Amino acid sequence: MGRQPCCDKLGVKKGPWTAEEDKKLINFILTNGHCCWRAVPKLAGLRRCGKSCRLRWTNYLRPDLKRGLLSEAEEQLVIDLHARLGNRWSKIAARLPGRTDNEIKNHWNTHIKKKLLKSGIDPVTHEPLNKPQQTPSEHDPESEVSLSSSLADHTSESPANTHQTNNTHVDEYNSSSSSPSASSSAENYCAGADESLVLLEYICGSDDQSFLMDSLWADESPAVGATTANLSPNENPSCDVAGLFPSWPEESESFSWLLGGQDYGVHDFGGFDCFGDDGAMNILDGLDLETGDKIF
């Protein structure tokens, strides 16, 4: 039958995204949402594949992303989840609000894998390296958890200790992931123009974003407890806009990760004119990032 390429190969740009392209994509999605990714590049005036646009948005441009290295608690959670779920990065990412599967996958391959090996633990099976390999059917999640948990100082906070450890956990995690997670809410809010207006409202709101991060690790792990993103507005007073988004601090910090070109990965953000002289995004003033025209 032969599968059609996701986009015309000719005339489609590849490689690192420029600030200009990011600007176009952000501008388009904030104003229109993404009806269908295939149409996004055309409508946004990008010479990119729709898939590439989706990836760029979900992995780097989504405003609810955390930046920077995974904290030790997050790392520990990834290890525990990996012990249960294996390389199902999207499932793991769904339990870590603000983190993407790509980010976790990269962090696993570059940091955690080595850390586990250094500790004498097989990163694939989570068993001691000198221990004879078990077949998958013999795989005992309980031993995985205890081993992975022993790697960190946060054993008392580990989900392994808050869960009974048995084979039902994979299903338990999977089914619980059907509840609103950070990633699903992120998908939700970019699903349409209405949501994008809500997003703008959300961005312009200046509540306390730190609540999200603090609450994630304060008394319960996100893997088992409801995150702020999971709570309804009534349950979570700091989560505005119908509970779709966590709250953010000062406007000037809302896109601090964008301003920080190094961390962000785009190195020419000096010319990223969606920010005004005061560093605030022009979109916050209702301006079209492309033309400077008033949108709202």
Partner DNA sequence: AATAGCAACAACCGCCGACCG
Partner DNA sequence: ACGGTCGGCGGTTGTTGCTAT
Please work out the total of residues on this chain that contact DNA, with binding judged by CB under 7 A.
47
- What's the half-sphere exposure (Cβ side, CA atoms, 13 Å) at 71? 13
Rounded to whole angstroms, the Cα distance separating 80 from 126 reads: 9
Residues between 267 and 286 that touch DNA (CB under 7 A): 267
The DSSP call for residue 219 is S
* Per-residue binder mask for DNA (CB under 7 A), 156-195, x = binder: ---------------------------x---x--------
Question: Phi first, then psi: what are they for 287, rounded to 5°?
Answer: -100, 145
Neighbours of 268 (CB within 10 A): 10
292 binds DNA (CB under 7 A): no
CB of 132 to DNA, least distance (A): 23
**Quick one: 239 exposed, middle or buried, by C-beta within 10 A (0-12, 13-18, 19+)?**
buried
CB of 15 to DNA, least distance (A): 5
* Per-residue binder mask for DNA (CB under 7 A), 205-234, x = binder: ------------------------------
- Scanning 14-71, the segments in alpha helix (DSSP H) are 19-32, 40-44, 50-56
SS3 75: helix
Residues between 111 and 150 that touch DNA (CB under 7 A): 111, 114
1 binds DNA (CB under 7 A): yes
Query: Residues 42, 43, 47, 69: which binds DNA (CB under 7 A)?
Result: 69
CB of 93 to DNA, least distance (A): 7
**Quick one: 122 exposed, middle or buried, by C-beta within 10 A (0-12, 13-18, 19+)?**
middle
Contacts of 78 (CB under 8 A, 6+ apart): 70, 92, 96, 104, 107, 108, 112
Query: Residues 32, 72, 88, 172: which binds DNA (CB under 7 A)?
Result: 88
Amino acid at the residue 54: R
CB of 167 to DNA, least distance (A): 19
* Per-residue binder mask for DNA (CB under 7 A), 10-49, x = binder: ---xxxxx----------------x-xxx---------xx
Q: Which residues here bind DNA, judged by CB under 7 A?
A: 1, 3-4, 6, 13-17, 34, 36-38, 48-52, 54-56, 58-60, 69, 87-91, 101-103, 105-107, 109-111, 114, 183, 187, 263-267
